[in-house]
Amino acid sequence: MGRLARARRQLLTVHPARTVVLAFATVILLGSLLLALPLAAEEGRATGPVTALFTATSAVCVTGLAVVDTGTYWSGFGEGVILAMIQVGGFGIMTMASLLALLVSGKLRLRMQLTVAAETKSLGLGEVRRVLLGVAGTTLAVELVVGAVLALRFRFGYEEGAGQAAYLGYFHAVSAFNNAGFGLHADNLVRYAQDPWVTLPVSTAVILGGIGFPVLLELLRHRHRRRTSDRRTWSLHTRLTLITTAVLLVVGTLLTCLLEWTNQDTLAPFGWGHRILNGFFHSAMTRTAGFNALDIGALNPSTLLMTSILMFIGGGSAGTAGGIKVTTFAVLAAAILAEVRGEPNSVILNRKLGPHVLRQALTVALLSVGVVVAATLAVLTVSRHAFEAVLFEVVSAFATVGLSTGITADLPTSAQLLLVLLMFVGRLGPVTLVSALALRERTRRYQLPEERPVIG
């Protein structure tokens, strides 16, 4: 009894970051076991452990990379398991558990509130209950609206049966809002490249899911304040996320159109309107969604590099997007600009940034670069694919995007397992994972002498 009591106390006092990591790992393991069942495959045969693990990790980490075709390989049960894992993974494992506990018991323990705050990275303890309900309501509303629009389009535009149209619509809506990128067609969304009634709703869901729940909830609260004549301004985080996201969407659209305008395998066969539409769609998908209406393998190397950069930046914090996040990118850009100008402080939108913010941004960026470089080198060592394709695949996995040049299924098992690890690290974040692996927190009780090395 003594050992059991100690083990229980250790479990209850575990660091919140470790709880999040263990929760994601547990759900991935459970999903792998379910997908390995013969019931999950269309042919009724047991799926190999690597394929099941890869698919489960891709779904829970809302990535979208796949080693088998989702629409033809998996049965209805398997697709249902994938959809459930996408929803749970996008919403957040501990956030989902906390919401269920809140709905059942009407209250949350302090430990669970701390865990939710660690997972979402931006929630204060005093508003966890309200935010949980707001996130759940927003998720359900967006998925229902987008799913309905897509279902109607599939029903009346492509003559799908009512049931099949609804299934296609809501599967893609859930996958889009959670930035997963899983599609039910072998060509993903290529067949809808010239259909704005499919590409634009999907893009809208991707952007809304990718800017992060804190931004969505603040926008909703700001709308309520306008009705009550409360003119409080948006927070720095919201303004920074919206501005940076808009700039990256425009830049991505322009560069995609510029680099692919004459490519006969991508944009060239379309009229100018559909070229711009697909340029925008591709740019929006680099927010870490993973849907594609263009053949990624046919993109020019310059476009692949540009896409890799946008994928690495990713979307908003505390949402369904991956990457280093747009706020991290903006903070680093502000620090560089301040240093170039010789200013003592980094400033964004008339607000001074604290040193700890700069350290966090630098840590996230450098750890992410290190992970991508090491993984690219490892995959190049065990495979014979071109450098640009391997780099693209590694960044797509780490940033939980899901866009692929088509080499994922051809990679050796060791490389596929490395991508599994990258998706896991990318979804949780390098800092969260390092914090979870740390044995203990250290507090320095003294200061060392200061000295300045030569930089540059």
pLDDT by position in tens, the chain (length 456): 455 555 444 444 455 667 778 888 999 999 999 999 999 999 888 999 999 999 999 999 999 999 999 989 999 999 999 999 999 888 775 565 555 544 544 555 555 555 555 555 544 555 566 667 777 888 889 999 999 999 999 999 999 999 999 999 999 999 999 999 899 998 999 999 999 999 999 999 999 988 887 788 788 777 655 554 455 578 888 899 999 999 999 999 999 999 999 999 999 999 999 999 999 999 999 988 889 999 999 999 999 999 999 999 998 877 778 889 999 999 999 999 998 988 888 888 888 988 888 888 898 899 999 999 999 999 999 999 999 999 999 999 999 999 999 999 999 999 999 999 999 998 887 766 555 555 455 666 777 788 778 777
Cross-strand partners of 362: none
Q: Give the pLDDT confidence score for residue 134 in this predicted structure.
A: 75
Cross-strand partners of 347: 352
Q: How many CB atoms lie within 10 A of CB 74?
A: 22
Q: How many CB atoms lie within 10 A of CB 103?
A: 11
**Degrees, nearest 5: CA angle 398-89-223:** 100
Q: Give the pLDDT confidence score for residue 287 in this predicted structure.
A: 84
Contact predicate 206/179, CB 8 Å: yes
Q: Give the pLDDT confidence score for residue 12 in this predicted structure.
A: 43
310-to-255, 292, 303, 348, 412 alpha-carbon distances in Å = 11, 15, 11, 21, 27
Q: Give the pLDDT confidence score for residue 115 in this predicted structure.
A: 57
**Degrees, nearest 5: CA angle 204-326-324:** 110
Q: Give the pLDDT confidence score for residue 412 in this predicted structure.
A: 95
Cross-strand partners of 41: 74
Phi-psi region of 166 (alpha: psi -120 to 50; beta: other; left: phi over 0): alpha
The two three-digit tokens of residue 259, written as one number:
């680099």
Burial class (CB in 10 A: 0-12, 13-18, 19+), 362: middle
The stretches of 67-212 forming alpha helices (DSSP H) are: 70-73, 76-91, 93-105, 110-120, 128-157, 162-177, 196-210
Rg for the chain, CA atoms, rounded: 22
Four-residue CA torsion sign, 345, 351, 353, 354: positive
Q: Give the pLDDT confidence score for residue 212 in this predicted structure.
A: 80
Measured between alpha carbons, how far is 283 from 287 in angstroms, rounded to an integer?
A: 7
Measured between alpha carbons, how far is 271 from 227 in angstroms, rounded to an integer?
A: 43
Q: Give the pLDDT confidence score for residue 221 in this predicted structure.
A: 74
Q: What is the DSSP string of 234-285?
A: PPHHHHHHHHHHHHHHHHHHHHHHHHHTT-TTTTTTS-HHHHHHHHHHHHHH
Q: Give, for 372, the enclosing helix (H) or strand (E).
A: helix 355-382
297-317 b/e (C-beta count within 10 Å ≥ 16 → b): eebeeebbbbbbebbbbbbbb
The two three-digit tokens of residue 218, written as one number:
């603040």
Q: Give the pLDDT confidence score for residue 234 in this predicted structure.
A: 83
Measured between alpha carbons, how far is 406 from 297 in angstroms, rounded to an integer?
A: 6
